[in-house]
Structures are given as structure tokens and as C-alpha cells.
């Protein structure tokens, strides 16, 4: 199974969650920090996929 590649928006949200002082582009250059950033971004993307705004608007809570 292939890993999901996070988009730029997910990377920026993950960058905000990490609360670091280094710029995002600098984090992407360091392999260990890039792996951490990608892991947090993938987790964000999974949560983003579970959210269904149409279901929330219809108040259809299962």
C-alpha cells in the first residue's frame, strides 16, 4: 500500500501544529524533520477526509 503524499495545505497546517520557529521550507530540507512533518500532515489529511460538511448541514449525526 502506498503512502499518501500530503498537499501543500496539509503541510502548512502540520507546520502550525508543530509550533517550531524554523521556516517550513527549511524543515523540508532536513530528512528527520521532513518525515515528522509528513507524518503529522498525513494524520491531518485522514481527519480531513472523515469530516463531511453536507452531513453536518443536514444534522444527520449517526
Whether 10 is in a domain gets the answer no
pLDDT digit string, tens, across residues 15-27: 998 888 889 889 8
Whether 14 is in a domain gets the answer no
Domain count, the chain: 1
Write down the pLDDT at residue 45.
85
Whether 32 is in a domain gets the answer yes
Write down the pLDDT at residue 36.
92
Model-wide pTM > 0.75? no
31 lies in which domain range? 20-46
Whether 37 is in a domain gets the answer yes
pLDDT digit string, tens, across residues 27-61: 899 999 999 999 999 988 887 766 777 777 777 66
Whether 12 is in a domain gets the answer no
Angle at 28 between CA 44 and CA 49, to 5 degrees: 15
> Measuring CA to CA, how many Å separate 14 from each of 1, 9, 32, 59, 60?
23, 9, 15, 29, 29
Whether 28 is in a domain gets the answer yes
Q: How many CB atoms lie within 10 A of CB 40?
A: 19
Amino acid at each position: 500500500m502506498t503512502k499518501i503524499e500530503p498537499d501543500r495545505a496539509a503541510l502548512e497546517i502540520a507546520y502550525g501544529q508543530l509550533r517550531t520557529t524554523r521556516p517550513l521550507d527549511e524543515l523540508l530540507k532536513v530528512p528527520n524533520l521532513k518525515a515528522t512533518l509528513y507524518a503529522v500532515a498525513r494524520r491531518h489529511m485522514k481527519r480531513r477526509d472523515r469530516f463531511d460538511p453536507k452531513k453536518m448541514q443536514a444534522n444527520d449525526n449517526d
